[in-house]
Structure 1
């Protein structure tokens, strides 16, 4: 690990000021990605800004019929939240599938979506539910937030404050998890919302994405059978030592059909 300055501010305004004065500083949320990266000397930030002391970034509230979750809220809190389980049970269930108990108690919603790992679960929930990311500068629709592998629409000095999830009519998340890491090798978040059917895929591509063809097919025929003739292009999917693009394309259809069948 390289030497760096450690900061623990108490407000979002303080964080913004620190970022403005040091473009090489990194934000520390739950640390599930940043800490190992620092230990392996794969990053050399001039400073690390710890967000754990900022109360305004934590908490879960019911708002406008949906749920708003602070960026520094850990996965375990989402999973066990009475409000989340009552309003959006699929979101609570998803949070309980992330990693292991240690990861769920340290990892945060904001850290997950800011990092945008291709195999992360939360991006699927944001896209599947049509969520809105609230930052220190603006509000960003989930459809415009995830831009590529480990890339988002966030500006260098922009801080995620919270995410608002509208309440769906029905929703379900199903994933095929890597048995070692529990990351999604292919996952499907299917939701029936006021704006129509949404199908979000995680783990299969360079970033989470909506499967528009599946949405159209399910709109015409709400049945797992409606997906039988659909298949994503394997050339556009991840291919690695865990699974080929062809296998992930197959998994995506299977997971989506399971989600529809159990919704």
Structure 2
């Protein structure tokens, strides 16, 4: 299908918005807000925060929609987390954490700027074209009310667009026949994913599962047969096709916004993102191969 957008324009816009949305999950403000309602474990806080829009779901739903987490890790925290705090309580705490995080990282001048308000308007306009079918995390968040404050509305729009693309990305991974650990290993091998240390430390997989996935990817000719975690030409081509397929599944919101709108939204969102980076929004050493 033809597109009116420049190549990868939607992906570039998503990458900026996704990075803004992801600041919450590394924020001490989130830990503080969740601890205040009784959720003190960092894994439990993550699962509750991201899954709460779906209601008091069980571990199977979280594992299915999050994809690359060990089901055993998920089941340690879900559904027990809902006995500590209801999804509604978690969502309220999450909004407080988002507000505190953005104010701390961006400062009041950026928060109150016309640029943030314009970015929120454009992001929400793009999200008008997102679709619920077969997109459970997006669909759940689409049922939440849009916050009144522009910086919170921008975060809400970024989350809608993040989860919409993410749901489609899982379909692309399934089509590529990459299981959760193979998806992690191959993404790490691109140099743009989490390091093995971060992946193993946050996703709940034992080292033996990681090493077994490496073997399977090598048998498929996707990883270099030597010791280095390097993609072969076939591996590079597969990861590129996965992203291209994800682009195709995610083109509707950006087509709806139009080329000029996508360019403007990307430009507007870059300023708060760079400000957040400079303020230490992300931990060092998270991305890469080693």
- TM-score, normalising length: structure 2: 0.27
- TM-score, normalising length: structure 1: 0.29
Report which of the two has the higher share of strand: 1
Report which of the two has the higher share of helix: 2
